[in-house]
Structure 1
Amino acid sequence: MRLNRLLRTFAFTALLGGLAVSVSSCKDDDTKGETEKTIGEVSGVVTDDEGNVLGGVEVSIADIVDLTETSVTATTTTEADGRYTLTDVLVGSHMITCKKATYQTTSVTLKPQKFNAEAMATVNIEMRYAAAKITGTVLDARNDGAPLAGVKVTISETQTGMTDANGKYEIANLPLDAYELTFSLKDYATVTKKMGRDAFENNTAVLDVVMGSPEVLRGKTAFDLRDADKWYYSEYRGGGNDTSYPHWDWSTDYMAALDFVGAWQEQNEGTTLQIRNDGANQKNPVDLDVFDSYVYGSKLITEDNKVMTLQVRTHNADSENPAVFGVQVIDLSAAEPAAVKIGGNESYGSDSYKSFGFDLSDYVGKEVVIAVGIYRAKTGDYWKQLVLRRIAFSTAKIDGWNYITGTAVNDDLKDWKLTMEMVRSTMPHTKKKFSGVTVCEGDKNKDNRQVAYHSWRDNAHIAAEWSFVPRVKDPEPFAGEGYIIKTRGGGTAVNTIEPEAYLYAKFSIAEGSNNLTLRIRNFAGEATFFKITAIKNDGTVEHIVPASNTAASSSAAPNGCWKFVHQNGGPGNPDAYAKFVYDLSKFNGEDVVLVLGVYKGEDNGTESKVCIYDVEMN
């Protein structure tokens, strides 16, 4: 075989020599600049990353030199022993590429010096097993989120994809690893997204992207922010320290259920926004305009809630090296939505809590996205934490730990800590069904609150979606049968006017959403007193009588309360809970705050409990 190759080379050279002699006898100038070309052969063995030979690999070679004549290319397939041979290869610089299903496409560069005197080159190639894939959809923000076709999705020179007519793409044969993907299309700003190894589930990661819209917050475009969580209420709290703050934070620190971006953690002092300071993040540049980590939500601003108060402290900061933080507002109704700073950047470095006020008056009458975040003020090893203990909205800045002040709804509700300003500014809920069961399994103590509370987002948990007010008593957030609100124990004065604790939310009552169905139970054979109270925006208050119920024992009680005993029901037996149904059709066409409160209806020597399995508007 080698003899034949030599003869072929000799014959080819002789032919070129003959042509050169013939041409030069006619016109010597025609040969100036011509270079003799040599045809050779490339061979080798393809193996996997454990040294096993790979058959059935498609091996191709492409000329990467900028020649005036047509490039020479060839393709072959490896034999069962992993060997391949590419013949009639022009000696020069080439790219050899190997492709095989479930293996990462691999390319190597072949330089001219790799060819020996016989114009032969040996190139052995190792391929990495790669059964993972990344899929997703690219949407066009310029066209109201329609699928965007023709977008090139790139991981490397040999790992690319293209979106189809439905905006979908897939890049397969990838190792299970972290990746940076680039999405590019003419006349659109290129989008780059990073994804970690933990993004893969069953070897598949899904990454959806919106193009045609610049980032407004880090990692979020205006299109993304259209789906921001609603900040329905006037107060959100974080932290587990219950010694000085009158809100039973150790069991009601539900700020962790909000939407956080970047580095954050639930701590006893509050929910902390942190500088991303691990590994490569230390190389991130200083940026006092774009949040490094933040929490955000969408809120309707009115005269009743136009001032936001942050109660904060810091970790890893002092007066000489403070944490830098602030508030940004995005008006999505603007022609070109942008993040607008409210009051500029704040600097603080102390273990003492301090109240900071932010005036949102410019946005009265609008629903806007509000973001609270921390800035990177130094590159390198820069570790700061902003501890958020309280986010509150009122008519003025709130100093200290006090409840939000305002106008009492009426004399009976004056000590409820629910003001007319809070009633009017609470936003109508967009959801209709709420669970009382925590889907997070395992340890849910103080050291694991972040995971437990954040899991409430997965099933519209009532404590995350409604506002909880522990007027004088804390709840039991993680009881197996559901979320428990309760009274104090023995020796507590009987009171069916003021609740010991309650949950509230506002709803737009209309056909198809004018019945409230509540599935609950209690414990220990003692009666529990509770009631549903409706409060209209004008301050009208009505305690609603259930249209029907399935409790083992139930009866009307003073001041609109309902007394019941029912010990059945659990997550595995939802139909066993007592079902209370309320007809709200009299409020059709109105926005109404609904309050579910528990009352000390009798001194029975123990705590009385309402265990909530779910609540549904239907």
Structure 2
Amino acid sequence: MELTKMRNFFSFIAVLLCMVFMFGSCTDDVSDNESMIYGKVKGVVTDVSSMPIEGVTVVVDESGLNATEGGPTAVTDSKGEFILENVSIGTHIITFKKNDYQTVSITVVPGKFNSENVANISAVMQYAAAEIRGTVTDASNADSPLSGVKVSISPTVSVLTDDNGTYVIDNLPLSDYTVTFAKDGFTSITKNVTIADFNDGIAVADARMGATEILRGLTAEDLQNAEKWYYNEYRGGRNSEQYPHWDWACDYMCTLDFCGDWEEQNEGTTLRIRNDESDRQNPADLEMFDSFVFGSKLITSDNNIMTLQVRTHNADNDAPTTFGVQVVDLSESTPMAQLIGGIKTLASEDYVSFDFDLSAYIGKEVIIAIGTFRAQTGDYWKQLVLRRIAFAKEKVEGWGWLPGTKIAALDGWEMTEEMVRSTMPQTKSSFTGISSVTGDRDNYVDAYRAWRGTGHFAAEWSFMPVQKDPEVFPSEGYLIKTKGSDAQVSTTKPQSYFYAKFSIADGSNKLKFSTRNFSDNPTFFKITAITEDINIKHLSPVSHIANSASSDNDGCWKFVHQDGGAGSPDKYATFEYDLSEFNGQDVLIAIGVYKGESNGDENKLVLHSLTLE
């Protein structure tokens, strides 16, 4: 009996202790909830081009610190904006999800919340449903499908071709890629795929292996798709001899197509002998370039002399840099790389000009390659620094503008009749001034390279900084401008301009230019058409949408319009032109900015976009 009482007593005590513990725990929970502070997380979601993304699901992690079960959620609107309500002031992981985009997560800490308990964050999402596909064939076996080819876009991403010679690399962000095709017994091939090559998220990169290699890694078929050298001058480096012609911001040579080992330096764009440890046992080769730059160029009687302005690194008289120029005429039955002017050697740290006579190719569009040869086996670190690649009727000396017959009616333009006639017509019809990668004076090569394949003005048009350098990377677009208080007022001499040539015809004779400026002072600009027989016409727009715009002296238009940006492309000023009077002609189009009045300020012209349709 006593034992039973004692057992019941201890059972009662145990139940009582449990109730006390449970009550204490509940009391603590209520207290925590009552003391918890809640706020908002808001922001905007854009793509890599700063365009808003609608329909992104925004989720807070399920950390137990949220006011709603499972965490607050939101969906971005047409402006890419979202608001997450009732988020506790604490540390959270915010996740952004949308089909066909890479998922992004951002951590928010208490310090991100302001005095109004609002945390502002922005997310950039990358399209990630793109794919590269294609077919690989065997040129040495009647172009039959070639299986077992390793197709790579990086050391960790590769696939093998199947029995039909086909392959697919999927789940890719939209970007530029270098695709490598490799198989034992075949020379490896590389192909460049740019953002512009993707159509509805798919880019096709076929390869034909086993064909004769003309330039290292490139067959005749590859060279058919070579990038065009539309213009007669390409400059490298960022030293300021004869500013602004040689200003850092005018260095666009590194947008050209380079193969092998190269680097952009202050002195110029440098071709280097491949010198990784695995390359040092490569045999000497004075026939095939080790590293080179190449493009497709129309040779005429106006530009048949090519001048290279070059210097060296890591070379001396006993072991100079060895280089040369090769031309491939794809119209020949068996195209071959022809050495022009013999093998050259150089040991100078000073700039030297070499000229090459291309008269044998007048009237033809040919592949031109400039490269360095490996002159010996071993640790062979030789460099050829390219400062200028120029085409004219004569050798180009020094730092000045291209020689030729100056156009009297375009005094101060530094434009010659030969440049007008021999500039090649553009194959593109849509251009942008928006840079997807930003840069500055110390880090601009990646930004310049990002222009490739995007139709960027700076990669597709030729820039002439007659009096003033540009601003290259504003988010509103590429920006050309005038000097400030020391600028001479003129509506005939541009401070700077871009030019390109177009074949005008029905379907490509309506030009639309999108722009803005940054001041209450007007910006003066004009668009000028120059025919190959040097007839010049300053164009007037047939319509325009701008806050303030009117015609001025000498064909200039002056305007004030301070709206438009990466997130508001519809707010730029637009000027539309009718080019139908030039149907059937190749016409050079120039866009210039002028110091139309003395106002003490720089006047700026933004090149946001241009289309020809």
Unaligned runs of 5+ in 2: 1-130, 152-157, 171-177, 192-202
In structure 1, the partner of 2:333 is 335
In structure 2, the partner of 1:191 is 187
Taking the aligned partners of 1:503 and 1:148, their CA distance within structure 2 comes to 47
Q: Does 1:470 align with 2:465?
A: yes
In structure 2, the partner of 1:396 is 394
Distance 1:584 1:139, change over 3 A: farther
Q: Describe the SS at the equivalent of 2:428.
A: coil
TM value normalised by structure 2: 0.71
Distance 1:274 1:493, change over 3 A: same
In structure 2, the partner of 1:149 is 145
CA shift at 1:458, angstroms?
A: 3.6
1:294 counterpart (292, 295, 304): 292
Give CA-to-partner distance per residue, 1:263-298, whole Å, 9 cap, x none. Answer: 111111111111111120112111111111111100
Q: Describe the SS at the equivalent of 1:423.
A: helix
1:167-566 to structure 2, matched below 5 A, reads 167-169=165-167, 182-183=182-183, 190-192=186-188, 208-244=206-242, 247-409=245-407, 411-441=408-438, 444-566=439-561
Taking the aligned partners of 2:436 and 2:159, their CA distance within structure 1 comes to 38
The share of aligned pairs that are identical, in percent, is 55
Taking the aligned partners of 2:533 and 2:167, their CA distance within structure 1 comes to 53
Distance 1:504 1:381, change over 3 A: same
Taking the aligned partners of 1:160 and 1:237, their CA distance within structure 2 comes to 39
Q: Describe the SS at the equivalent of 1:446.
A: coil
Contact map agreement 1:217 1:290 (CA 8 A) in 2: yes
CA shift at 1:572, angstroms?
A: 1.0
Taking the aligned partners of 2:488 and 2:163, their CA distance within structure 1 comes to 69
Distance 1:610 1:194, change over 3 A: closer
Give CA-to-partner distance per residue, 1:147-188, whole Å, 9 cap, x none. Answer: 842545379xxx9955444x404799xxxxx9996548xxxx
Give CA-to-partner distance per residue, 1:477-497, whole Å, 9 cap, x none. Answer: 111110011111113221001
Contact map agreement 2:425 2:501 (CA 8 A) in 1: yes
Q: Which amino acid aligns with 1:249?
A: D
TM value normalised by structure 1: 0.70
Taking the aligned partners of 2:578 and 2:167, their CA distance within structure 1 comes to 49
Distance 1:383 1:258, change over 3 A: same
Unaligned runs of 5+ in 1: 1-132, 173-177, 196-204
CA shift at 1:322, angstroms?
A: 1.1
Contact map agreement 2:244 2:468 (CA 8 A) in 1: no
1:578 counterpart (553, 573, 581): 573
RMSD: 2.7
Distance 1:319 1:561, change over 3 A: same
Taking the aligned partners of 2:486 and 2:207, their CA distance within structure 1 comes to 59
Give CA-to-partner distance per residue, 1:577-601, whole Å, 9 cap, x none. Answer: 0011110000000000000000010
Taking the aligned partners of 1:461 and 1:180, their CA distance within structure 2 comes to 26
Q: Which amino acid aligns with 1:573?
A: S
Distance 1:322 1:206, change over 3 A: farther
Distance 1:609 1:264, change over 3 A: same
Q: Which amino acid aligns with 2:489?
A: V
CA shift at 1:543, angstroms?
A: 0.4
CA shift at 1:449, angstroms?
A: 2.0
Taking the aligned partners of 1:456 and 1:141, their CA distance within structure 2 comes to 34
In structure 2, the partner of 1:130 is none
Taking the aligned partners of 2:600 and 2:168, their CA distance within structure 1 comes to 64
Distance 1:575 1:169, change over 3 A: closer
CA shift at 1:407, angstroms?
A: 1.1
Taking the aligned partners of 1:592 and 1:293, their CA distance within structure 2 comes to 36
Distance 1:171 1:613, change over 3 A: closer
Taking the aligned partners of 2:593 and 2:159, their CA distance within structure 1 comes to 59
Give CA-to-partner distance per residue, 1:204-251, whole Å, 9 cap, x none. Answer: x99852135211100111100111111000100010000346513311
Alignment: residue pair count: 459
Q: Describe the SS at the equivalent of 2:581.
A: helix
